[in-house]
């Protein structure tokens, strides 16, 4: 019975989170992360926090595909780098603070995926670079203007 359910499940594919082109151009231009920080964002965080996910092979297997779709949906509500242009300066500042906190406390990237993705694990140096970037960028938003 369980097997039948598992087999049937394979026919249901959650809609994919995918976008063409420069979906996060505003975020990158405005916050100007270093190459190191940018790579963490684009290769790791964007999978759940942007309009484009780079799907792992196991997304072809239900129910993992459902869990991932749920995490992406919730992740995008919490923070979406592709929607950066739509956030107010105050909101951007708040997002930077939560990025800093979640990276510092190792709450992000989401623990449940680290077993499958060694490269999702952040090094101490990546963590520090993100925190420094968040502090620096946050100052500009507190002044209510774009960083230059």
**CA angle, 113 as apex, 109 and 116 as ends, to 5°?**
130
CB of 8 to ligand HEC, least distance (A): 26
| Interacting residue with ligand HEC among 6, 8, 64, 78 (CB under 6 A) | 78
Token pair, residue 43, equals 């290769």
What track of x and - describes contact with ligand HEC for positions 90 through 129 (by CB under 6 A)? --------xx--xx----xxx--x----------------
> How many chain residues bind ligand HEC (CB under 6 A)?
19
Sequence-distant contacts of 83-92: CB under 8 A, at least 24 apart: 83/51, 84/24, 84/26, 84/27, 84/30, 84/31, 85/26, 85/27, 89/141, 89/144, 89/145, 90/141, 92/141
Q: Does 23 bind ligand HEC (CB under 6 A)?
A: no
Q: 45 or 62, CB closer to ligand HEC?
A: 45
Of the listed pieces 19-27, 43-51, 82-90, 132-140, which binds ligand HEC according to CB under 6 A?
43-51
Q: Does 69 bind ligand HEC (CB under 6 A)?
A: no
Q: Does 47 bind ligand HEC (CB under 6 A)?
A: yes
Residues 6+ apart with CB under 8 A from 30: 84, 146, 147
Cα–Cα distance for residue pair 26/9, rounded to 1 Å = 38
Footprint of ligand HEC on this chain (CB under 6 A)? 40, 44-45, 47-49, 71, 74-75, 78-79, 98-99, 102-103, 108-110, 113
């Amino acid at each position: 019975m369980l097997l039948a359910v598992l087999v049937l499940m394979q026919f249901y594919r959650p809609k994919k989170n995918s976008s063409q082109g420069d979906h996060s151009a505003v975020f990158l231009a405005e916050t100007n992360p270093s190459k190191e920080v940018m790579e963490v964002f684009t290769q790791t965080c964007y999978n759940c926090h942007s309009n484009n996910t780079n799907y792992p092979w196991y997304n072809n297997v239900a129910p993992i595909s459902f869990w991932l779709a749920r995490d992406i949906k919730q992740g995008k509500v919490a923070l979406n780098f592709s929607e950066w242009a739509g956030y107010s300066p105050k909101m951007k500042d708040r997002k930077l603070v939560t990025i800093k906190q979640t990276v510092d406390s190792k709450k992000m990237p989401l623990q449940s995926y680290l077993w499958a993705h060694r490269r999702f694990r952040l090094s101490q140096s990546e963590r520090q670079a993100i925190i420094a970037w968040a502090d620096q960028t946050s100052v500009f938003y507190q002044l209510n203007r774009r960083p230059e």
